[in-house]
Every structure is written in C-alpha cells, then in structure tokens.
Chain A
Amino acid sequence: MRASPHASLLIAAFLLLCAATAHASRIGDLADSPIWAQALRFFTFQDPSVRYALIGSMLLGVSCGLLGGFIVVRKMALMGDALSHAVLPGVALGFLWNMSKDPVAIFVGATLAGLLGTVLVGVIQQTTRLKEDTALGMVLASFFAVGICAVTMIQRLPTGNKSGIDKFLFGQAAAIGANDVTLMAVVTALAIGTVWVLYKEFLVTSFDPAFARVCGFPVKWLHHALMLLLAFAVVIALQAVGVVLVSAMLITPAAAAYLLTDRLHRMLLLAAAFGLGAGATGCFFSFLGNNLPTGPCMVLGATAVFALAFLFGPRHGVFAKWWRRRSQSGRVGRENTLKALYHVLESRDFKGEGVSLRELAERRHMTVEASSREVQALRRNQLATLTEDGNMVHLTPEGWTRACVIVRNHRLWELYLTNEAHIASDHVHEDAEKIEHVLGEETVLQLERRLESPTKDPHGRPIPSLADLRRGAAVDRRDELVGYGRRI
C-alpha cells in the first residue's frame, strides 16, 4: 500500500476516526517521502498511528524487559519462547469468538492458551522421563501447529481473508490502535505494580526456591503468578512484534542487563530501559525505511544493545576482560623485570652503577633484545631509565620501591609457607612466584607481624624492610643508596 502525501493525509484523518482498524502493512508505507521528512514526521508525532505504534512499542518493551529479567535469572528463557508460540491457537480461538479482531477476546484466548501450554510443560516433565527442553519444544511446536491449522482455516473462510490475523505471526506495529494501547498500558501497569509489591518474594524464589519455601512463601503460586504476567506481556507484544520474535523482547534486553549489573533491582530497571529503547528504535527505523517490518527492527535493536554489553560491558564485557588481562600481564611482566634488577643489584651487594642489559639478560635467561624490550616497558612506566648508549639501566625511586615491594612479598611469603605451613623450603619458590604480584599492603603487614618482623627468608637472604622501601622514595637521600643510579 504505497500512497502519495495527499492520500497519506486522508489515511491519517481516517485513522483519527477509527484508529483500531488501521491497516497499513508497515508503518513506513504510510508515506513515500525522503528520509529526513519521515524522521521529522516521526518526531512531531503527526500521525496517530505513529503515536500509537511508538507508545505501544515502548510499553511492551518495558513490560517484556521487566518480566524477562526474572526468566533470565531463573534459567527459563526458553519458556518465554514456548509461551509465545503456544498463544497462537488462543489468538485464533479469540478471533473465532466473534469473527473480528476484538482485542479483549484475543487477549483472553491467548492468555488461556499460554497458561495451558506452561502447565502442560510441567505435566509432561513430571509424568514422563522427557527432559525440560524436549517438553518445551513439543508444547511449542504442537500448539503452534494447532494455531497454524486454525489460522489457515480462518483465512480460507470467506470473511477471514481480510481479518489480518496473519499479522500476529510477524507483528504489525502500524495496526496498534487506541484500544490496544489502553490494554498495553493496563498490562504494563499491572506488571510493574506486581513486581513492585512482590519484589522480595520474586527475588527469593528466583534465586533460592528452597529457602523461599522455608521462609513460608507460596513458591508455586508465585511461579504461576509470574507465568500469568508473562503470558500477559507476550500477548500484548504479539501485535507489534509477532509470535515468532516475542521471546527476543523477553530475553535479549534482560540478558544485556544481566551482563552489566549484579543486583536484581538494577538489572530489572536496566532491562526495562533497554526494552523501551529497543521498542522506540525499532519503531523509528521501521518508519524510516519504507519496507522494514517493525518486529525484526525492534529485535535487532535489542540485539545491538546486547552486543554492546557483551563487548564493552565494564565488568563482564569481552573488551574489559581482555584489557584487564592485558594490563595484568603487563604489570606482572614489569614486576618480574624489577625483581630481576633487584637480584642483580643484590648479588653485588648494591655496589656499582646501575645494571647493564647483559647482566639483566643473563639473570632472566633471555636474549639482550628481549630484556631491552622489557626495560623499555619499565621506562614507559617511569620505573627505570636507560643511559644514552642504551646499555645501563638505572631504577627510578619509584622503581626501586616497587622492586623492594615485590622481593619483600616474595620472601615474606616463602618464610610464611616454611614457618607456618611447614612446607619444605625448596618447595615454596613457585608458590611465592605467583602470589607476590597480588599480595596487598594489608596482607603483607599482617604477614610481617605474624612472623615477628623477620629479616631473613628461608634461603638466608635478607628481606627488604620498610626502611628500604622508604629509602627509595626519599629523593634527597638518594646518594646514600648505592646501586640504583645517580643519574636520573
């Protein structure tokens, strides 16, 4: 249905009169104007159908996101999928009730079918040895098949062809009318209200059903209540997203939120916000392009949010993890170089000028080039300096302190293992090698107190004391310290 601007005005006027019967196959098909004009029209909300579609999409995004949070943490994500497919026969039955797209009849029929589906999944699981996924898949497929049969039968009826019931499969935001928006608002309010009132109960039953039962919560009833709300949300989302993709609106925003936070209430808020955003962007893009269906656009919007959270999430994101690992391994590498420099200095009793690259390379059992690279890394972090000819390494005060800290950690830990844990002194090195990088200041002080301020490690080498550490930091007394270099 491609119309000229004039015709689109007529359509808009017509929609004002009876918005519930709006029948453009896509929102974007209402007009054939350039993109910027379309965007302008979208943001000025001239067309009631756009307004309804946008409000409807946002409402369904909120309710689906909110409830989706629970099914994601309960590991029931595919229950949403099964539920959304299982409502189809209910939709067809609701349609057959009085042969029209009466929102209430369809709503009741779909909810009943969805609930029947969830109950059947439970029954199949309890009475046969089939697993949950098989039961879900069977209910999903068989309900959907019944629905398909019913829908095709309706469409072959003389009146059924114009019914628009096939739009429930892929959704059609353009067909959302005032009645539908009211229904959506009621359901969203109901969902938010229930979650608000029963937040504690839902929280406990989602994470620890056994504990909830001990607390005296009606776990079964809470489960059914959640299923009921879920069925409501799925049914209102059908109009815009369609049966096939509703589960995405349940799962994807919630999963994205799950990646970003650890607290359930924050996760629910985020999920609702993501759902809202996905609904709005999906609506917008499907309005822009003139051949884009709304439901898939919304789903892709939600997927984009998930992808961003997956890649750039501050704590669990792939990028953040990679960055942490990288900076961690960089730090460990630098600390190992510092330690080697310390050992070289120690081996000649902290006498002489700096450390040559050759000495360092021998100590680390690597080539001169490799050790030169390591020293460059130290230099970048202002832990050491190199002489002009690039041969002698001098630690900066900061570098000296860090080297002392690492060696101190290492030797204290070795001593702790031999004295307190009674491990043979020739077995403790490996362990200390790992833990020296992660011991915090607190722990080290505790260790020192516990070992009564030791001066020698189990191999008889001196443990750098706190005074040694400070000596590095005190720049004016630098001259007293032999070895870490005077020329900075």
Chain B
Amino acid sequence: MGFLVAAACGLVGNYLILRRMALVGDAISHSVLPGMAIAFLLTGSRGSVAMFLGALAAGVVTTVIIETIHKRTRVKQDSAIGIAFTSLFALGVVLINIFAAKVDLDQECVLYGEIAFIPLEPIVSVAGFPLGPPTVLRMAVVAAVTVSLVLVFYKELLVSSFDSGLAVSLGINATLVHYALMSWLSVVVVSAFESVGAILVIAMLILPGATASLLACRLPLVHGLAVIHAALSSVLGMHLATWLNCSVAGAMVVAATGLFTLAWVFGPERGLSRRWLRTTANEPESGAPPAAASR
C-alpha cells in the first residue's frame, strides 16, 4: 500500500517539481477536504465514487481560484496558493464539524486521518493479506493508471513541462495538459489521503522526485529512480514505525527524507561530499585523503 501511494505520488510529483508547482500539490492536498465533505453531504454515503468526484471538483476549483486571484489582482501566486488552500481547508473542517459530526462520515479518516492516528490500522492489516481491503485495490488501480498515463502522454507532459511555448507550437494544448495534470493530482491525492493524510501526501509528491532529480538528468531515469525511492522509503518506513511505535505514514516520510539526505550528501555528481572533495582537491596545499570525505 505504502509503495503504491508513494509510487503514484512520486510519478505525478516529478512533473510538479519540473513545473515549479510543488506547493500547488500541497494546496490541492488540503483543499480536497471540502469537496469530500460536500460530496458526502449530497449523497450521504461514503462511496468512493462520490468522494472521488467531490475531491476532483475541489481540486479543479482550487486551481481555478489560484489562477483567478493570481491573474485578476496583483497578489502574487504564492499568496494566492496560501489563501486558496487554507480557506478551503478551513471550510472543510467547519462543514464537517457542523453537518457531519453526528452522522457516520468518518471524521477520523478525513480529518484526523490527516494527523495520522488512523493510518496505522489500514496499513497494518494490509500487511497480512495484500489483496484484501478495497482501499489497496483502489490505490493499485490509481497507481497503474498513473503509470499508463505517464507512458501514453509522456511526450505531451515532457514538452509542456519544460517549454510551454514549444508545446503550443507543436499543437499541444498546454492549458488542457495543466488542468488534466491537476485533476489527476487530485485523484491521486484523494486516494492517498486515507493512508498518508493530506499533509504527508506532499512529502510523497515531492521527495521521490527531488531525490531522483539530484541523481539523474534524464526524465525516464528520474521516473525510475522515483519509483525505487518510493519502494525503499515505504519498506524502511514500515520498519521504522514498528521500531519506534509511531505513525506509519510519518515514518515513511522520515525514511524518504533520510534517503533524500543521503542523495544530497553522497550524490555521484552533485552531492555535497563530492563537491567538497573537488574543492579540496583543487586547493594545492590540501592533501585531504578521500576517505575523510566519505565518512
């Protein structure tokens, strides 16, 4: 489960990093909450279809709000993001508290699920029988669709991420790609929601991609490394969580951060230690042994 979440998030996250929209992921992961709350209020069920649609709508609404504030006023994009997601999140919390407290909308899951008290249970039970719970199956489907989407639309995503002008001249609708990416991001976020919680989703979105982009320059390689990073961090995170007796999602992110730090310090090309080694090697008087650098 953890791996599926991390892999799906990591793949989408790569593009967010490339587009310098890492924090839009953060925003969307917060603002799906009112969408889910409203979907629940309208349908009265916790069916995943309604929740999905609500979250999807909320994600698109967030993107639209950010764009509107950013374009129509002189407020900058960062402030626009901050305003949009905090407002929607607050709205969601209030909605849940007013309307859904008495009925069986799983407040724990939506609200406290994000503080990661609950996530322990689904993941632990998953470890017993890997194909059992519907959430895992859903996440598997989402992850599979993410992989195939990236494979099919690789060129479009690649071009529009690096050079939207070129994309338009090639006949690719950059706006459409943008909104499609955002919508799919909301889908991924909402399906990851239950297991990692809204705030840790952003770690899953950013960390694999950031780590991978420290290690490689080519996008396919970055994708591959991101998936490997996701796998490693979920396995390590599980062990860490059982060892420290703390939240699994939190531990997974801690593990992912650890991997990032490793890549940062010991990266083959641009790592800190390699850099330090280069600078010391260039200085004529220093005879620092290489062993000291890799300690």
Chain A residues proximal to chain B, CB less than 8 Å: 72, 75-78, 80-81, 85, 124, 127-131, 133-134, 136-138, 140-142, 144-153, 155-156, 166, 169-170, 244-245, 247-248, 250-252, 254-255, 258-259, 289, 291-293, 295-297, 299-300, 303, 306, 310, 316, 318
Summarize B's interface: helix, strand, loop or mixed: helix
Q: Is the CB of B246 within 8 A of A255?
A: no
Q: How far is the CA of A156 from the CA of B116 in the complex (A)?
A: 13
Chain B nearest CB: distance from A399 CB in Å?
36
Assess the A148–B69 pair: CB atoms within 8 A.
Answer: no
Is B206 located at the chain interface by the 8 A CB criterion? Answer: yes
* A133 pairs with B245, CB closer than 8 A: no
Beyond A124-B264, A137-B205, A250-B82: 9 further Cβ-contacts under 8 Å?
A: A81-B23, A131-B17, A138-B260, A141-B207, A142-B256, A248-B82, A248-B86, A300-B87, A318-B72
Enumerate chain A residues within 8 angstroms of B291, measured Cβ to Cβ: none
Contacts of B91 in A (CB 8 A): 296, 300
Tell me if B78 and A76 are in contact (CB < 8 A): yes
Residues of B153-198 contacting chain A, CB below 8 A: 197
- Tell me which of A77, A147, A293 contacts B94 (CB under 8 A): A293
- Within the complex, the shortest CB–CB distance from B227 to chain A, in Å, comes to 18
Number of A-B contacts (CB under 8 A): 202
Q: How many residues of B contact A (CB 8 A)?
A: 62
Q: Which of B76, B81, B199, B256 has the most CB of A within 10 A?
A: B199
- How long is the Cα–Cα vector from A128 to B215 in the complex, in angstroms? 11
Assess whether B254 is interfacial by the CB under 8 Å rule. yes
Q: Would you call B210 and A255 a contact (CB within 8 A)?
A: no
Q: Are B115 and A166 in contact (CB under 8 A)?
A: yes
Do the beta carbons of A133 and B22 come within 8 Å of each other?
A: yes
B73 touches A310 (CB 8 A): yes
Q: A255-B83, A310-B69 are in contact. Are A295 and B22 (CB under 8 A)?
A: no
A259 to B69, CA, bound (A): 11
Give me the interface of B with A, judged by CB distance under 8 Å: 17, 20-23, 25-26, 30, 69, 72-76, 78-83, 86-87, 89-91, 93-94, 97-98, 101, 115-117, 197, 199-200, 202-203, 205-207, 209-210, 213-214, 244-247, 249-254, 256-257, 260, 264, 270, 272, 275
Once the chains are docked, how many angstroms separate the CA of A259 from the CA of B74?
Answer: 7
Determine the distance from Cα of A77 to Cα of B244 in the docked complex, in whole angstroms: 34
Which 4 residue pairs spanning A and B have beta carbons closest together? A141-B203, A248-B86, A145-B253, A148-B250
Assuming the contacts A134-B206, A141-B253, asked whether A252 and B82 have C-beta atoms less than 8 A apart, the reply is yes
Q: Smallest CB–CB gap between A301 and chain B, Å?
A: 9
Q: Name the B residues within 8 Å of A166 (CB-CB).
A: 115
Which A residues touch B249, using CB under 8 A? 145, 148
Residues from chain B with Cβ under 8 Å of A145 in the complex: 200, 203, 249-254, 257
B94–A297 touching, CB < 8 Å: yes
Q: What residues of chain A lie closer than 8 Å to B82, measured between beta carbons?
A: 77-78, 80-81, 247-248, 250-252, 255
Chain A residue with Cβ nearest B260: A138
**Nearest B residue to A291, CB-CB:** B97
A251, B79: Cβ atoms under 8 Å? yes
CA distance A292 to B90 in the complex (A): 11
| CA gap between A245 and B92 in the complex, in Å | 12
Q: How far is the CA of A166 from the CA of B108 in the complex (A)?
A: 13
- How far apart sit A353 and B246, CA to CA, in the bound complex (Å)? 93
Q: Which residues of A contact B272 (CB under 8 A)?
A: 127
Are A299 and B86 CB-contacts (below 8 A) given A127-B272, A149-B247, A166-B115? Answer: yes
**B98–A289 CB distance below 8 A:** yes
Query: Does B206 lie within 8 Å of A75, measured CB to CB?
Result: no
B73 with A141: CB separation less than 8 A = no
Q: Given A149-B254, A152-B247, A77–B78 Cβ distance below 8 Å?
A: yes
* Among candidates A148, A255, A292, A293, residue contacting B247 with C-beta atoms closer than 8 Å: A148
Q: How far is the CA of A166 from the CA of B116 in the complex (A)?
A: 11
Which residues of the partner chain B approach A137 to less than 8 Å between Cβ atoms? 22-23, 25-26, 202-203, 205-206
